[in-house]
Amino acid sequence: MAEDTQRNFRSVYYEKVGFRGVEEKKSLEILLKDDPLGILPPHHESHAQVMMCRKEQYTDVLHALKVIRFVSDSTPQVDVYLRMYQLESGTLPRSPSFPLGVRVQEREEKRNQEPEDEVFLAIAKAMEEMVEDNVDCYWLIRCFVSQLNNKFRDSLPQLPKAFEQYLNLEDSRLLNHMKMCSAVTKLPYDLWFQKCFAGCLPESSLQRVWDKVISGSCKILVFVAVEILLTFKIKVMALNNAEKITKFLENIPQDSSDAIVSKAIDLWHKHCGTPVHSV
């Protein structure tokens, strides 16, 4: 993106590797100093060697999974990423949850996914649309998910409360309507906060939100959720039960997403100043 506040997080990754395509010195220096994803060390001269090691590690882990028959050449790529992450984090199931050779649709039906697996797959599917190279994609997914599970582990459960607080400040009438419909506790918080809007916003808008998360602020997720409600206030006010409100918010019109994210960033600055690492 042209402006520092709307940078594409992938530019940080590629500039770390050495491909300088945009001049965003101030924001880049902050990100490099804190090494937000921990993919590469701070010393530029070692990047080529580290990237080679990352690629070899990817190849070795993938080969191991094929040997123990957890994946095959026909396994969907996002499932491959999940199995690789599980193997490296020590959470790989004791045996494959589906036999090799079963059609993809049947495997999907047979898989008994844990909630954390669903989050990983949602993020992986979105990241796959943003990054072409499989090795780069896996490392970005791996480090992004690790950031959510570690740095933001205590913050993410607090986001629904913050959402209600800021929505009340922006439009108390709208919040009261949702409370009267008993919709507040049934909002798609998992989709919004655990999955960081993966599967809710198109990738072109999503990458602007993830840029802020990777930079150190998961609170941007709250303001995206608030802005979604403000943008579709008339529609939400016309709905009178929690199920209908939730169903609509899970499938918002995609053509409004860019405007929603831009306004959410404005709200973020309004309530938090100019946060860089505000959690």
Per residue in 13-24, pLDDT (tens digit) is: 544 444 433 433
Q: What is the pLDDT of residue 2?
A: 38
CA distance 97 to 155: 32
Contact partners, residue 15, CB within 8 Å, separation at least 6: 21, 22, 28
Q: What is the pLDDT of residue 273?
A: 76
Q: Output the pTM of the full model.
A: 0.80
204 or 19: which leads in pLDDT: 204
Per residue in 255-272, pLDDT (tens digit) is: 999 999 999 999 999 998
CA distance 94 to 207: 35
CA-based nearest residue to 275, from 13, 30, 37: 30
Tokens representing 160?
Answer: 């629904």
157 or 31: which leads in pLDDT: 157
| CB-CB neighbours of 165 under 10 Å | 14
